[in-house]
Amino acid sequence: MDDPNATLFQLAAEAGIEAGFHDAFGNHHALQAETAIRVLGALGLPAETDSQQQSSLARLQERPWRRGLPGSLVVPAEQQPAEIPLHARAECAIAHWQIVEEGRQRHEGRLDLLDCPVDDEREVDGRRMVRRACRLDVALPEGYHRLTITLGESTLDCVLIVAPKLCWLPEDAAPGRRLWGVACQLYSLRGPHSNGIGNLDDLAALAGYAAGCGADLVGLNPLHALSPADPERRSPYSPASRDFLNVLYIDPRSVPEVAASTTAQALLSGQRHAALAQLDLIDYPAVTRLLLDVMRAAFESWPLASAERHASFAAFRAEGGTVLEAFARFMAIQEQLSADSPAMIDWRNWPEDLRRPDGPSVDDFAAQHADAVTFHAWLQWLADEQLAKAAGSADGMAVGLYRDLAVGVGPDSAAAWAAGDWFVAGVSVGAPPDLLNRLGQNWGLVPFNPLGLADDGYAPWIESLRANMRHAGALRIDHAMAMLHGYWTPDGLDATRGAYVAFPLEPLTRILALESRRHRCIVVGEDLGTVPSGFREKMAEGGVLSYRLMLFERVGEGLFARPETYPENALVMFATHDLPTLAGFWSGEDLDLRQELRQYPSDEVRDADVAGRAADRRRLIDALIDAGLWSRDAPVLDETGTLSPELAKAVQLYLAKTPSRLMMVQLEDLLRLPEMMNLPGTVDEHPNWRRRLPVDLATLFSMPEVTDQLHAVDAERGRNSNDNGSQ
């Protein structure tokens, strides 16, 4: 019997929707018809009826034939001259081509199409079309070049992206060395000028302290822009834009215009500021109000600023171009409209003529509120200026700042407003069921449209890479598997009913390598969770470092993997921001918290986790004994869960012994803090992204327990990497 959904699933396959997947428990989930229809509709391919499916399939199949040339083509730098797929009428015999290099050098020539082999043909609108494999006799340098082919009266354009195979590597940055660094949540830092939240001057201080202990990089949470108009939305992994900075990280005391403003100075010396500085949990609404009040007062004195500062801001604004202008306009519009109605935080509730950056009223708004738009662009300039200063403080390090690129943005974000055509509405990015989330995850983020990436020259990917490699020596790609495929859940369905949608992995990794080498920026791919077979190997081939957490590196019956078995091209650490800290793991703090918040489906599951954690404590000690870092004769450890300084140090030395080229130590682990910075699956039930360190940086780096750990790690990592980290 014929499958009534055969056309639907053929259309889904050609659109890149995978036929099914296996979850972390080995269960297979076949693509459901409803999910396929919803995802196809989100991609702009109606599929609710047989006729819609046939029409969408024909449109999708004919798409490259109607374009003639792809919008862009990624060319391996080592495989030139490039082979260009040209779709043309069969009778076309001659074409003329021109390439304008990124550096403006021109090449041109003539193609005898009948000499170019045909590798496919199709009838389109009653005409016989052929696809020819054309080679242009020119070798291009790495970069972004413009190809134009003229066929009679038709002109076809394509961006040729010539890209290397390998990203910038630790070996390029520091030959033969195994580097290490400290990882922080920037908001958690306490410095001398605290406004109730860590700032970029604190980051500069941290870089100096860490470098003094031998560290070569400082790891950060995403610095992405949030929405000051919606301060309770504080997750750095659900930003307003990945391409701009969180202005709450500006240290106002380092801004000359603040120093010139008596009003701003009075605010910084007032009671509001003093109260915020003492809090252990960040009060985002209060911090945001104070910072904006201070900066608006300072902005009033901006016309009196030096000619040099005006020129620097003008250059920054010109470099930011239409992208920065759109972002600043969004912030100004959102701020004004939401002041009267909280619903206006979401641009989808704005008046129709403001819902697109090219809407008829947006220019009018920008003209009438020019100062407000300039203010938000100015804040971005100040944040970038202070980030550059922090990077300068890390100049003595082999790597410097290690930034984090979140996997996406929300549908109500500034980015989705400014570049809506790049995103897919009606679906959310997430993850299928796994060991930590048995019902799957819906992150509330909108994905890029993979069918349009090449048409736009991969612009959204390139822009985000450039923005986040700025002032950085390393970049972590959150949920790197999204370069291969994304797990999409249609709005209204639960996360177990999603589907994987394919992305062009090879072009994306090649572009990543090109930008990485241009910025001399190491790339780490977060490859945790449900990792497809062969994915880590593909990343390794492109020079993307694997992300290995000791908590997850197990063998056999849950034993911790030995240090020497870790891969060389990897970054290692004990855990990360949404997993238990070392002290929390040891004490079971996270398990108690999940019980308190009723996250366990049953007492049996909780009891199994508690028993498993007790076994893991024993496995950890056994691993340390095996590595020569703990005495077999040591007394039985305190089962009440108190992590000793000696045990904390031994775990860091365990990681330091690995041959992996990068290692990170979390500040929370140095201080043996038990609380998680973020508890997945919660919003307000847990103080996510709000915890501040209990001590300031000067105190932290004067603590013998902390410096002892860091000096021990530095001594171990300083040994020649050829010894595989063990002596």
Give, in order, the Cα–Cα distances in Å from 514 to each of 106, 511, 521: 21, 5, 10
pTM (2 d.p.): 0.95
| Number of C-beta neighbours around residue 557 at 10 A | 7
Please give the average per-residue pLDDT across 604-611, as a whole number: 93
Residues in the chain, overall count? 727
Nearest CA to 16 among 452, 582, 472, 393? 452
Say yes or no to pLDDT of 216 above 70: yes
Helix, strand or coil for residue 216? coil
pLDDT band at 2 (very low <50, low <70, confident <90, very high): low
591's enclosing H/E stretch is helix 589-596
pLDDT tens digit string along 493-514?
988 899 999 999 999 999 999 9
The alpha carbon of residue 520 and the mean position of all alpha carbons in its chain are separated, in whole angstroms, by 18
What confidence score (pLDDT) does residue 639 get? 54
Strands 143-151 and 94-100: antiparallel
Q: How far apart (Å, rounded) are the C-alpha atoms in residues 448 and 444?
A: 13
Q: Torsion angle of alpha carbons 412, 323, 384, 514, nearest 10°?
A: 100
What confidence score (pLDDT) does residue 233 get? 94
| Number of C-beta neighbours around residue 249 at 10 A | 25
- What separation, in Å, do the N-terminal and C-terminal C-alpha atoms of the chain show? 67
pLDDT tens digit string along 614-665?
999 999 999 999 999 999 887 555 555 789 999 999 999 999 999 999 999 9
Please give the average per-residue pLDDT across 605-613, as a whole number: 93
pLDDT tens digit string along 715-724?
999 964 444 4
Backbone angles phi, psi at 559, to 5 degrees: -70, 145
| Number of C-beta neighbours around residue 104 at 10 A | 6
Say yes or no to pLDDT of 249 above 70: yes
| Number of C-beta neighbours around residue 724 at 10 A | 17
pLDDT tens digit string along 367-391?
999 999 999 999 999 999 999 999 9
Q: Which fold has domain 79-163?
A: Immunoglobulin-like (2.60.40)
What confidence score (pLDDT) does residue 637 get? 59
Q: How would you class 524 by CB atoms within 10 Å of its CB: exposed for 0-12, middle for 13-18, buried for 19 or more?
A: buried
Instruction: Please state the domain extents for the chain.
Output: 79-163
81: cis peptide before it, omega within 30°?
A: yes
What confidence score (pLDDT) does residue 151 get? 93
* 76 DSSP β-pair partners: 163
What is the full DSSP assignment across 580-627?
A: --HHHHHHTHHHHHHHHTT--S-HHHHHHHHHHHHHHHHHHHHHHHHT
Helix, strand or coil for residue 4? coil
Say yes or no to pLDDT of 265 above 70: yes
